Amino acid sequence: MNVLLWHVHGSWTTAFVHGRHTCYVPVTPERGPYGRGRADTYPWPESVVEVKPDDLADLDVDVLVLQRPEEWELARRWLGRRPGRDVPVVYVEHNTPRGDVPTTRHPMADRDDVVLVHVTHFNELFWDAGGTETVVIEHGIPDPGHRYTGELERLAVAVNEPVRRGRVTGTDLLPRFAAVAPLDVYGMGVAALPGHLRLHDPELELSVVDDPPQERMHAEIARRRAYLHPLRWTSLGLSLLEAMSLGMPVLALATTEAVEAVPPDAGVLSTRVEVLVEAARWLLAEPADARRLGNRAREVAQARYGLDRFLADWDLLLHRLCGMPLPAGATKSGARDAER
């Protein structure tokens, strides 16, 4: 089928567009937030087609996959059709709620013209969606391969915009880990991080790589001894799942969905930062233990967050919404949440 969606989250979209559908992504001359077009740092298949806003009215679209509230009006205006009435709509919620969390109402709450898809059970639990139909389709990631060597006694972190997001991403915690081992931070908007943290102690080492291509980042991260995930409040960072799939042992705050994603034999989770700091020391000193945890991390990540399960869940939901039978050879395995 033909799916229209905006390029918002590169890693999630990379998994989604590897399905059997043609995905149209809006593109504008400036490639701004509502017209980024195809990604240039992720491997996207040829089935992802850029389309200009002026050409959308003539496009045959079977379903809309929206990810921001304002996309509803954009879709109506650019397509010349009513979302949820003339064309089915799925709204994907990537983020945890903000503000007064236990009572935060979702922008799509109490609607009968949309299916709200959460990427984690934690999200569904904490967002108040009222009577809107909700489905959980957990993340899926392309397998980056078992590439862990852990040869470098350093810690890797992958995070976007750590200066702007601050405590949300646990940016303030990084110096405590830099006191144990050098930190290498990868992601968008990390160039200003050293100046922001003001690491005056010459023994504290933190290096940054701003917006690297995914393939390069995976290769470099896998050489580090362990992966650090200090985010306080996030749905479930795909970088954590990617690190696990690389075969890396992980250190993470025991918050949000991380407690479901990382079993005790695949890494160390705690709400006590000193526990994670001591765990970092342990993994740096014991490479065999680090490799053992990393092997288990990869096994768990591939079993629960593999791409085939993710795409099967999405196929089931999209075909149901559009009233289309599943194509021959499609599988329903792992699609229990989409069947609710």
Q: Residue 337 — very low, low, confident or very high, per pLDDT cuts 50/70/90? A: very low
Answer yes or no: is pLDDT of 338 > 80.
no
pLDDT at 309: 95
Torsion angle of C-alpha atoms 160, 164, 167, 170, degrees rounded to 10:
30
Domains belonging to the chain, first-starting first, are 2-140+306-321 (3.40.50.2000), 152-304 (3.40.50.2000)
The answer to whether 42 and 239 have CB atoms below 8 angstroms apart is no
Give the Cα separation of 287 and 186 in Å (integer).
Answer: 23
pLDDT at 185: 97
Residues 6+ apart with CB under 8 A from 121: 136, 138, 257, 260
Give the Cα separation of 276 and 254 in Å (integer).
Answer: 10
pLDDT at 100: 84
Give the Cα separation of 311 and 3 in Å (integer).
Answer: 14
Report the range of poorest mean pLDDT among 45-59, 105-119, 195-209, 265-279. 195-209
At residue 101, what is the residue type? V
Global model pTM greater than 0.85: yes
Per-residue pLDDT tens digits for 100-135? 888 999 999 999 999 999 999 999 999 999 999 999
Answer yes or no: is pLDDT of 83 > 60.
yes
3-state class (DSSP) for residue 58: helix
Residue by residue, what is the 3-state secondary structure of 19-52? CCCEEEEEECCCCCCCCECCCCCCCCCCCEEEEC
Comparison of pLDDT for 329 and 97, the residue scoring more = 97
